[in-house]
Amino acid sequence: MRVALRELPQMGTGQPISILLVEDYEDAREMYAEMFSLTGYRVVCARDGQEALDRASAERFDVIVMDVALPKVDGIRVIQTLRSRPETKSTAIIALSATVGELVHKAAIAAGADMFCEKPCPPDQLEDDVRKLLARRKPDHQR
């Protein structure tokens, strides 16, 4: 896969944009993590909902990209929990799901996701969605 390097949106800190990537399927997690890393993001991965909550408590992320179907704690519950915490209530969240249908999409948005992407989601499309979300949220997301 060839990825064109583009200038990343600035978040006002001089630091790379940080992404918490929550995906239980190893191949997808590695593919998305590699793409984000190659395009200049700092990526931290979690394999399940509990690990996502632990990592989000330990450090601040600019964006959380989260599968909805996760072991231990499902993605909808993780999103609800993140939205209830002062330190993560305004973090940008993109929900991913291979489950097709309006119910999953609506549940993710109702839980607090800013955006929903249906799998399979090509890596370049996901990166573009991250850019769009950050551009929309930039004024109120400055650290």
Give the pLDDT band of residue 99 (cuts 50, 70, 90): confident
Assess contact for 116 and 94: CB atoms under 8 A.
yes
Give the pLDDT band of residue 66 (cuts 50, 70, 90): very high
Instruction: Write the DSSP assignment of 32-98 as a string of letters.
Output: HHHHHHHTT-EEEEESSHHHHHHHHHHS--SEEEEESS-SSS-HHHHHHHHHHSTTTTTSEEEEEES
Q: What is the pTM of this model?
A: 0.87
**DSSP code, position 24:** S
Query: Which of 36, 39, 8, 9 is CA-nearest to residue 22?
Result: 36
List, for residues 48-59, the tens digit of each pLDDT value: 999 999 999 999
List, for residues 18-48, the tens digit of each pLDDT value: 999 999 999 999 999 999 999 999 999 999 9
